[in-house]
Amino acid sequence: MKNVFVFDIDDTLYDQLHAFKRAIKNLQISSQNDLDISSLYQLMKKYGDETFSSTGFDQAKLRSMQIFRIKRALQDYGVKITNEQALNFQLDFEKYQNDIELFPKMEELLNLLVAKEQVLGIITNGTVDKQLKKVKALKLGKWVPKNNILISEAAGVSKPEKAIFKCFENKLFLPLEKQNVFYVGDNYLNDIIGPKSVGWNTIWANYREYNKPIECVADYIVQEPKSLYTTITKLIDK
């Protein structure tokens, strides 16, 4: 029986932290050696996620959010930067995301899923232009049909809202029975709570070892791409 495996992109298929580190280095912060880059990155994502839903896809509002999130994250370390520095950081961050590659084992996993005739898809938050650049850089078109890629700007709604997952179901004409549909992502709210709200199975790619909620609803939790490969292999061999 065919399963449907739908993936997030950022920090699920590739490591966004590499681009972040390069962009932070360019800021030339005097106390940079005192920064915990991984924790700083998590803070930036946290502040961005908290404000993303209120921006819509207005470019000016998105830029304001991007400036705010890095300034706010650095503020937690007692570091102040100007709006101009924050914008330059964001532009560098976006530039370096054009130079990305899949996590180890991910290409092998995608090849296996295609060989086993599983259905592949992507649901990702962001603008069409930025996310399609990542799709191209990662060569995801080798495995995922164009019609199976849903970007929140195009859908007019973002994860974790139920509507974006319903939109995907309509695109693929998925049956009402969802026992063979799996969503894979790193963000607990967007990628676990969201798809669970429409009855999908979920695999939490918790590579950064975020704290597990007391009542965790993820069906599977993996902490490295190798474990994701093993988990999905077992699912398709059932």
The number of CA neighbours under 13 Å toward the Cβ of 216 is 15
- The pLDDT-based confidence of 55 (bands split at 50, 70, 90) is low
Answer whether residue 59 shows pLDDT above 70: yes
Q: Which helix (H) or strand (E) holds 220?
A: strand 220-222
Q: What pLDDT shows up at residue 176?
A: 64
Q: What pLDDT shows up at residue 32?
A: 66
Q: Mark residue 173 as left, alpha or beta (left: phi above 0; alpha: psi -120 to 50; beta: remaining).
A: left
Answer whether residue 113 shows pLDDT above 90: yes
- The pLDDT-based confidence of 7 (bands split at 50, 70, 90) is very high
CB within 8 A of 82, min separation 6: which ones? none
56 or 72: which carries more pLDDT confidence? 72
Summarize pLDDT for 128-140 with one digit per residue, the tens.
999 999 999 999 9
Measured in whole angstroms, how far is the alpha carbon of residue 13 from the centre of its chain? 8
Q: Is omega for the bond preceding 160 within 30 degrees of 0, making it cis?
A: yes
Mean pLDDT in residue range 180-205: 96
- The pLDDT-based confidence of 1 (bands split at 50, 70, 90) is low
Q: What pLDDT shows up at residue 9?
A: 97
- The pLDDT-based confidence of 115 (bands split at 50, 70, 90) is very high
Answer whether residue 49 shows pLDDT above 90: no
- The pLDDT-based confidence of 179 (bands split at 50, 70, 90) is confident
Identity of the residue numbered 52: F
Q: What pLDDT shows up at residue 238?
A: 77
Average pLDDT, the chain: 92
Answer whether residue 237 shows pLDDT above 90: no
Percent of the chain having pLDDT more than 70?
95
